[in-house]
């Protein structure tokens, strides 16, 4: 079983739609959860990170963590064409290496 | 404040040659990480370094790959005797000293093509 699973899509939605992106993980030691956005041929940029169960909101983006189910989500409200990118979840465990374990990434296209 | 710098951005090598990838972390950052992104794959951790120390190299292939982060100068990822399977995008990330270590800021990557 992979440590982090993410549906690679692709996902195509109309402008203004609510987008839901999800990852599951297998290791209970994972305690820190991030979402990165990567535009084509660019490096990933950090969108959000959290270390507890519950929701964290930043503008149109909401990150949700359910540790009991080992499930994390990113919601994008009022999606824009500029949101078209690949979204990667990344997870890190406490007390171990600093390394991030990434999902495969979901390619999102928002159509105007 | 300049971000993480990587060079070259694109590198073409023939099989058997050496590839050297350089990474300059953000100012004030002393933690550097290297990741590899193969086509249609997510980012895979390779190595984590602090100045003059390799902290975790659990993701490095056992042969031909090495990394360093000297006291002065950029971090270097070195691939000897490259093979076609080494073709990938290599990303460097850095994180700050003393603050939260959870944020890793990524550079633009070096795209290595092995002919």
Query: Is B43 within 8 Å of A34 when comparing Cβ atoms?
Result: no
Answer whether residue A25 shows pLDDT above 50. yes
Query: Is B33 within 8 Å of A99 when comparing Cβ atoms?
Result: yes
- B109–A contact, CB cutoff 8 A: yes
Average pLDDT over residues B35-48: 90
- Among the partner residues A32, A49, A88, nearest to B43 by beta-carbon distance: A88
Average pLDDT over residues B42-49: 92
Strands (E) across chain A are located at: 4-6, 11-14, 19-25, 30-38, 45-50, 54-58, 61-66, 71-76, 85-93, 101-102, 106-111
Beta pairing class for A19-25 and A4-6: antiparallel
In this structure, the number of other CB atoms found within 10 A of the CB of residue B13 comes to 19
- Among the partner residues A41, A51, A104, nearest to B42 by beta-carbon distance: A104
State the pLDDT at residue A79.
Answer: 97
Query: Is A43 within 8 Å of B44 when comparing Cβ atoms?
Result: no
State the pLDDT at residue B102.
Answer: 63
pLDDT tens digit sequence for B48-86: 999 899 989 999 999 999 999 999 999 999 999 999 999
Query: Is B45 within 8 Å of A100 when comparing Cβ atoms?
Result: yes
Average pLDDT over residues B11-27: 97
Average pLDDT over residues A42-48: 92
């Amino acid at each position: 079983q992979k440590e982090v699973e993410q549906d690679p899509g692709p996902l195509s939605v109309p402008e203004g739609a609510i987008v839901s992106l999800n990852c599951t993980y297998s290791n209970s030691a994972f305690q820190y959860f991030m979402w990165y956005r990567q535009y084509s041929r660019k490096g990933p940029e950090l969108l959000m990170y959290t270390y507890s169960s519950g929701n964290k909101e930043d503008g149109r983006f909401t990150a949700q963590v359910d540790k009991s189910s080992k499930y994390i989500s990113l919601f994008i409200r009022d999606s824009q064409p500029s949101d078209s990118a690949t979204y990667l979840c990344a997870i890190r465990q406490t007390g171990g290496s600093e390394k991030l374990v990434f999902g495969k990434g979901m390619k999102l296209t928002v159509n105007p | 404040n300049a971000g993480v710098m990587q060079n070259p951005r694109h590198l073409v090598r023939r099989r058997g040659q050496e590839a050297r990838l350089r990474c300059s972390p953000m100012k004030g950052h002393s933690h550097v990480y290297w990741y590899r992104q193969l086509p249609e794959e997510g980012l895979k951790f390779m190595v984590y370094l602090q100045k003059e120390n390799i902290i975790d190299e659990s993701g490095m292939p056992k042969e031909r790959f090495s990394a360093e982060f000297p006291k002065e100068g950029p971090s270097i990822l070195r691939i000897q005797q490259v093979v076609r399977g080494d073709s990938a995008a290599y990303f460097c990330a850095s994180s700050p000293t003393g603050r939260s270590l959870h944020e890793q800021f990524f550079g633009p990557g070096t795209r290595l093509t092995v002919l």
